[in-house]
Structure 1
Amino acid sequence: MRIIQLIDSLEAGGAERMAVSYANALSKKIEFSGLIATRKQGPLVNLIEKEVAYFFLNRKSTLDIASLFRLRSYIKNNNITIVQAHSSSFFLAFLLKLVYPRVQLIWHDHYGNSEFLSKRPTRVLRILIPFFSGVLVVNHNLKDWCKQRLKIANIIFLPNFVGCENKTPSETILKGIAGKRIVCLANLRSQKNHYFLIEVAEKLKISHPDWTFHLVGKDFLDDYSREIKALIVASNLEKKVFLYGSKQDVGNIIDQASICILTSKSEGLPVSLLEYGLHKKPVIVTNVGDVSTVIQKNVNGFLVESDQIEVFYDSIVKLIANDKLQIDFGLALYKTIVENYREESVIKIYINWLQNSCK
Structure 2
Amino acid sequence: MRIVQIIDSLEVGGAERMAVNYANALAGKISFSGLVVTRKEGNLKSKIEQKVNYLFLNKKKTLDWKAVLKLKMYCEENSIEMLQPHSSSYFIAVLVKLIYPKIQIVWHDHNGLSEFLSSQKWIPLKIASFLFKGIIVVNYQLKNWAVRELNCKNVIYLPNFTSKEIDVKSETVLKGNSGKRIVCLANLRHQKNHLLLIEVAKKLKINYPEWTFHLVGKDFEDEYSRELKNSIFSNKLYDSVFLYGSRADIVNIINQSEIGILTSRSEGLPLVLLEFGLYKKAVVVTNVGEIPIIIQDKKNGLLVPSENVELFYNSIILLIDNPPIREKLGEELFNTIMKNNSEKGVLDDYLKWLKEI
Q: How big is each residue's C-alpha offset from its partner over 1:7-32, in whole Å with a ceiling of 9 and x where there is no partner?
A: 11111110000000000000010000
1:272 counterpart = 2:281: no
Match of 1:294 in 2: 294
* Partners of 2:164 and 2:282 in 1: CA distance: 21
* Partners of 2:146 and 2:207 in 1: CA distance: 46
Match of 2:318 in 1: 318
1:255 counterpart = 2:258: no
Q: How big is each residue's C-alpha offset from its partner over 1:204-223, in whole Å with a ceiling of 9 and x where there is no partner?
A: 00121110000011111111
Match of 1:54 in 2: 54
Report the CA distance between 1:151 and its aligned residue. 4.9
Q: How big is each residue's C-alpha offset from its partner over 1:242-269, in whole Å with a ceiling of 9 and x where there is no partner?
A: 0011111111110111111000000000
* Partners of 1:86 and 1:207 in 2: CA distance: 44
Ranges in structure 2 where 5+ consecutive residues have no aligned partner: none
Report the CA distance between 1:153 and its aligned residue. 1.1
Match of 2:18 in 1: 18
Report the CA distance between 1:272 and its aligned residue. 0.6
* Partners of 1:63 and 1:226 in 2: CA distance: 31
* Partners of 1:49 and 1:129 in 2: CA distance: 31
For residue 277 of structure 1, give the secondary structure of its aligned residue in structure 2. helix
Q: How big is each residue's C-alpha offset from its partner over 1:321-343, in whole Å with a ceiling of 9 and x where there is no partner?
A: 11110000000000001111111
Say whether the 8 Å CA contact 2:4–2:34 is kept in structure 1: yes
Match of 1:206 in 2: 206
* Partners of 1:178 and 1:24 in 2: CA distance: 33
* Partners of 1:246 and 1:332 in 2: CA distance: 29
Q: How big is each residue's C-alpha offset from its partner over 1:119-161, in whole Å with a ceiling of 9 and x where there is no partner?
A: 1212112211010100000111100111122253110000110
Match of 2:110 in 1: 110
Match of 1:220 in 2: 220
Report the CA distance between 1:352 and its aligned residue. 0.6
Letter in 2 for 1:119: S
Match of 1:122 in 2: 122
Match of 2:342 in 1: 342
Normalised by the length of structure 1, the TM-score is 0.98
Match of 2:245 in 1: 245
Q: How big is each residue's C-alpha offset from its partner over 1:156-190, in whole Å with a ceiling of 9 and x where there is no partner?
A: 00011002323211111111011110000001111
1:92 counterpart = 2:89: no
Letter in 2 for 1:145: W
1:119-198 maps to which residues of 2 (within 5 A)?
Answer: 119-198=119-198
* Partners of 2:132 and 2:104 in 1: CA distance: 7
Letter in 1 for 2:263: T
Say whether the 8 Å CA contact 1:282–1:330 is kept in structure 2: yes
* Partners of 2:151 and 2:59 in 1: CA distance: 31
* Partners of 1:122 and 1:50 in 2: CA distance: 36
Say whether the 8 Å CA contact 1:286–1:306 is kept in structure 2: yes
Report the CA distance between 1:224 and its aligned residue. 0.9
Letter in 2 for 1:292: P
115-124 or 197-206, larger mean C-alpha shift: 115-124
* Partners of 1:180 and 1:283 in 2: CA distance: 14
**Count of residues in Structure 1 that have an aligned counterpart in Structure 2:** 357
Say whether the 8 Å CA contact 2:130–2:151 is kept in structure 1: no
Say whether the 8 Å CA contact 1:184–1:261 is kept in structure 2: yes
Report the CA distance between 1:117 and its aligned residue. 1.0
Say whether the 8 Å CA contact 1:122–1:150 is kept in structure 2: no
Letter in 2 for 1:112: G
* Partners of 1:342 and 1:153 in 2: CA distance: 26
1:37 counterpart = 2:42: no
Letter in 2 for 1:22: Y
Letter in 2 for 1:215: L
Say whether the 8 Å CA contact 1:122–1:149 is kept in structure 2: no
Runs of 4+ in 1 over 4 A off after TM superposition: none
Letter in 1 for 2:182: I
Normalised by the length of structure 2, the TM-score is 0.99
For residue 152 of structure 1, give the secondary structure of its aligned residue in structure 2. coil
For residue 218 of structure 2, give the secondary structure of its aligned residue in structure 1. coil
For residue 219 of structure 1, give the secondary structure of its aligned residue in structure 2. coil
* Partners of 2:65 and 2:318 in 1: CA distance: 57
Output the aligned Cα RMSD. 0.8
* Partners of 1:4 and 1:177 in 2: CA distance: 44
160-169 or 174-183, larger mean C-alpha shift: 160-169
Say whether the 8 Å CA contact 2:132–2:152 is kept in structure 1: no
Report the CA distance between 1:60 and its aligned residue. 1.1
Match of 1:63 in 2: 63
* Partners of 1:164 and 1:206 in 2: CA distance: 37
* Partners of 2:88 and 2:334 in 1: CA distance: 32
* Partners of 2:210 and 2:64 in 1: CA distance: 53
